[in-house]
Amino acid sequence: MSSPQISHSLPPAAELDAADPLARFRSEFHIPPNPDGTGECAYFCGNSLGLLPKRARAAVEAEFRGWEQHGVEGHFHGTSPWLHYHETLTEPTARLVGARPLEVVVMNSLTVNLHLLLTSFYRPTPTRYKILMEGGAFPSDQYALESQARLHGLNPAAAIVELRPRPGEHTLRTADIEAKIQALGESLAVILIGGVNYYTGQAFDMAAIARAGHAVGAAVGFDLAHAAGNLALHLHDWDVDFACWCSYKYLNSGPGGTSGVFVHERHAHRSFQELPRLAGWWGHDPADRFEMKKGFRPMPGAAGWQLSNAQIFPMAIHRAALELVDAAGGMAALRAKSELLTAYLEAQIRALSLPPSALEIITPADPAQRGCQLSVLVHRRGRALFDHLAAQGVVADWREPNVIRLAPVPLYNSFADVDRAGAALRSFF
């Protein structure tokens, strides 16, 4: 398949779906019904909550059976003993984010992990104390950074620097981010940016940001909530210091699903004095973990940030969902379809030929600067349009004050879904 051109003459969705090598994966998911209860909806809300993989129920039931049959001995017996269950997620997680196995671990939830990582990597001094983030970041990131600054006795207004687009623009330019990093220089302690901005859908040049941050001596981290399972990531090669992400959006691992963590291998063996952290039992060296002795000795790599033993049931869902990513050919294959789907959606929207004063796509047009989300700024009757889409069985996401987010997810969305969204838009305007 070749990328559809943005024009009024679009390739038929049926032809594109017939040529789609990943079309079969749609049947691996439960698609919610239309509002009248018949047929399947066109679900474009995977950037908020991914759909339920059909294999997830069986994966959790297997662990229920293990609990039923073995009780506490399920930690040591069964097909996947719980003592090492989290380790079954290491290799697929490393493939997912472009990391080495030593650099990743699955644990906790996203903002908990963000705080754990900031505790280690945000170590302000009287001269190097500033945090750089994108303006309008998801509130959890804003709150986490505000509280981290306060924990160090700093005024967030003085410690946190927010990046803003140029007047009249909706997204940030990489050159402007690099210039701000250089201007902050030796005052900059940490950069924390969302790999993909939740509101605009802009994907940032993480490699360039990491290079610029390290050039001034800052630690560089990313919240990948909207990037993991959406973009082809290369965290190790990009030289990122740390990152974390959730699994319930593009990774389809259920509401509140378990989170992933990346810590670059150059930090794998740093001592507590060099890189302090909040310690827990499960991050201790397993060689003598069960001797219950004082004196924390962390496991090397990201696993050393673990606090508690594995959350088996959420991890069972996550394991089943990651199997689908690998079965589809990994992120390279998913990203290839994603670019086609998103271009097809963009073409449907632009074919409306509406002036920017009525409706505009604020997500970058360059595929390298976006994932599968398109954010549509609706200047008039935005909520009415959103409600109209919902009534037509097109499930989107509304963000105040007037943005509709549409995310065609390559694992389960079809070109027919996108065509249906286009028809619903045309019927409104």
pLDDT tens-digit map of 382-404: 999 999 999 999 999 999 999 99
* Confidence class for position 52, pLDDT limits 50, 70, 90: very high
DSSP 298: B
Return the percentage of the chain with pLDDT > 90, whole number.
Answer: 95
pTM of the complete model: 0.95
Q: What is the largest CA-CA distance in the chain?
A: 70
d(CA 364, CA 141): 22
d(CA 429, CA 425): 6
pLDDT tens-digit map of 235-285: 999 999 999 999 999 999 999 999 999 999 999 999 888 999 999 999 999
pLDDT tens-digit map of 295-333: 999 999 999 999 999 999 999 999 999 999 999 999 999
The pLDDT, as a whole number, for residue 174 is 98
Beta strands in 348-410 (DSSP E): 359-361, 374-378, 394-395, 397-399, 403-406
Average pLDDT, the chain: 96
The residue-averaged pLDDT of 92-96 equals 98
The pLDDT, as a whole number, for residue 3 is 44
The pLDDT, as a whole number, for residue 272 is 86
d(CA 61, CA 78): 13
Q: Show the domains of the chain with their CATH numbers.
A: 13-52+331-428 (3.90.1150.10), 80-324 (3.40.640.10)
pLDDT tens-digit map of 106-160: 999 999 999 999 999 999 999 999 999 999 999 999 999 999 999 999 999 999 9
pLDDT at position 70 over 50: yes
* Confidence class for position 49, pLDDT limits 50, 70, 90: very high
* Confidence class for position 6, pLDDT limits 50, 70, 90: very low
Instruction: Give the torsion through C-alpha atoms of 258, 395, 402, 114, to 10 deg.
Output: 0
* Confidence class for position 10, pLDDT limits 50, 70, 90: confident
pLDDT tens-digit map of 194-214: 999 999 999 999 999 999 999
The pLDDT, as a whole number, for residue 321 is 98
The alpha carbon dihedral of 322, 324, 329, 331 has a sign of: negative
pLDDT at position 2 over 70: no
The alpha carbon dihedral of 391, 392, 395, 400 has a sign of: negative
Q: Could you tell me the CA-to-CA distances from 328 to 22, 94, 128, 232 in Å, in that order?
A: 7, 16, 45, 14
